[in-house]
Amino acid sequence: MNTPLHASDPVQAGLAVVIGGTGGIGAALVTGLRAQGFEVLALGRRTQPSLDYTDASSVDACAQHVADHLALTGLALQRLVVATGFLHGETASGQHAQPERSWQNLGADALQHSFLINAIGPALVMRHFLPLLPRQGRAVAAFLSARVGSIGDNNLGGWYAYRASKAALNQLVHTAAIELARRNKQALCVALHPGTVDTGLSQPFAKTGLQVRPTDEAARDLLAVIEALPPGSSGKFFDHKGLSIGW
């Protein structure tokens, strides 16, 4: 039975890093975290330094940039939010990808790019950024996933690349949470479903009557879930209301 999360102890704000922090929901998360009192570093393809999943070395370089900032300021990295994702648009090779309605629409290029942005890139973030979280005290790494990545919740089919790559992300989050607990039992690593948000990712697929929420509202809900995560929630998958989602 799904039950809402309960509030945790008050935050002692340190540093927050938002990857994908210049996108629609990412920028709203940056604003929300700053309002909570965090110093925030936004990283993405349009920041300096830039973080681009098509260049693996940029992930390493950005992690070093954050590590240098932590050493300089004495802050602790208390929030890591990964707000990147790919559903449709131009791939790294310049082709155009759309969610597949049938297996007849499956193509290697779209599959490769979806896995690059939705799973491989976040996996590299785990490699380089999770070691920057403190070894004691509460810290949260949150990766934006999608309910359609739930295998058990798939009743409609379609959207092969997006579903599969988000399912891969969920497995990566669950696995990383196990390892993270060996370093710091109070650190949490979770997957979060933001709902259908009014961004470029969802706009072409918003249906009449479907609840599409503004980015600031979605960010506020997600940050409330992050703050309410109780002990024992690491490695799990939650929606924007704080309810658990089955794998």
Lowest mean pLDDT among 21-25, 132-136, 210-214: 210-214
Do 61 and 69 form a contact (C-beta atoms < 8 A)?
no
What are the pLDDT digits (tens) for 223-235?
999 999 999 999 9
Q: What is the pLDDT of residue 4?
A: 52
- pLDDT score of 247: 92
Residue-wise pLDDT for 167-180, tens only, equals 999 999 999 999 99
Indicate whether 184 pLDDT > 60.
Answer: yes
Mean pLDDT of all residues in the chain?
A: 91
* The pLDDT value given to residue 179: 98
pTM for the structure as a whole: 0.90
Angle at 131 between CA 136 and CA 68, to 5 degrees: 100
> Mind listing the pLDDT tens digit for each residue in 77-88?
999 999 999 999
d(CA 167, CA 173): 10
- β-strand partners of 189: 141
* φ and ψ at residue 34, rounded to 5 degrees: -65, -40
Predicted pLDDT at 7? 43
